[in-house]
Homo-oligomer: A and B are copies of this chain.
């Protein structure tokens, strides 16, 4: 099961801040049409193995670590052993979250179930999971509402459901505050699957929702590549909006072809170009967050393939990061960008009556503006050649 690993410029190290979910490398390869193909891997072994590969930390749902029906004693024993493994390996748990989707009790959703008892149970489960996350040192708490949705709009009052969702998040923000937890909440959107349609289906809808909460300052986004690309949207655009709004609190890196089931492919393996523009955006912004991979190995793989997958995810990020640096130094590319920057050099645009009057009277050389090209084909071709490694 051990394979020769390259030790080169793209070898991951803890300072790169790569993290994986326990559920990602631990994914047993079950899918809607087939049984598991891999044995479960113990969380402690995952920690050791990822440390060996150069990761910084692991993230988890409550039930990734502690089984649903564990007694308090079992829970404590499991947590103790897990902390020991973390300590031994130097790995961290920067993020935690709640599993609000596997248990049949959540078949109609958790915070938006039509059954108020289910909604309360979801709050209870989340508070316990937050306690666990904090105990493990997590600073970010993710909410993915995979079952908050409908198959038919006849079944749910859409506006009431949004209200229930908001009430729950407000409650949990207050809970975190009352406990003096230094947690930030990161909300994760997805358009569909497993529900027919999931509420707040994109990074945009979710970000808009945050502004309506009681404590918007402690709530941001956890955008996921696959979830935005399922809707055919450019992921970088959503991330740029989150960054610009100061709301990029976490990120889920993986791969996905548009318009199909949730694939959770190895980062960069579906569309290296989109992955490049994403890495470039994060690195240009010097974004300080974790580079978290929410993906899993193909179902064709045995355990050795799982570690190939994990290593490959990190290597591809580093390769693309290197290319982003190269882009910033490429003279032909920078010459084209400089020409664009010159055109962009604008007078201030804050409104005054005088400025409005002047602007109304301004004469533009429209024939020239209509005729000018922007040289984006050339710029894009140079980028393509850089990406393909022939510059």
Contacts and interface: CB of A to CB of B under 8 A. Distances in A.
B302 A171 contact: no
A168 interface: yes
Given A33-B146, A102-B34, A376-B298, A121 B364 contact: yes
Interface stretch (A74-82, A85-93, A133-141, A151-159): A151-159
A359 B120 contact: yes
B300 A369 contact: no
Interface in A342-363: 343-347, 349-351, 353, 356, 359-360, 362
Nearest to A99: B33
Copies in the complex: 4
Contacts of A29: 104, 107
A270 interface: yes
Given A34-B104, A209-B241, A119 B299 contact: no
Contacts of A154: 277, 333, 376, 379-380, 383
A237 B32 contact: no
B373 A200 contact: no
A107 B300 contact: yes
A354 B47 CA distance: 38
B200 A241 contact: yes
A283 interface: no
Given A3-B378, A158-B240, A32 B258 contact: no
Contacts of A350: 167, 170-171
A14 interface: no
Contacts of A104: 29, 34-37, 370-371
Contacts of A369: 105, 115, 117-118, 121
Interface string A267-282: 0111111000100110
A194 B147 CA distance: 21
A23 to B, nearest CB: 10
A98 interface: no
A377 B343 contact: no
Given A31-B32, A115-B343, A370 B103 contact: yes
A377 B32 contact: no
A277 B155 CA distance: 11
A359 B261 contact: no
Contacts of A151: 265, 298, 300, 376, 380
Nearest to A162: B244
Given A108-B300, A381-B308, A159 B115 contact: no
A207 B206 CA distance: 10
B193 A32 contact: yes
A158 B261 contact: no
Contacts of A304: 373, 375
Given A203-B204, A257-B258, 16 more contacts: A30-B32, A33-B194, A34-B147, A116-B347, A121-B362, A152-B376, A153-B277, A158-B244, A171-B351, A192-B257, A196-B263, A200-B241, A201-B237, A203-B205, A211-B211, A258-B259
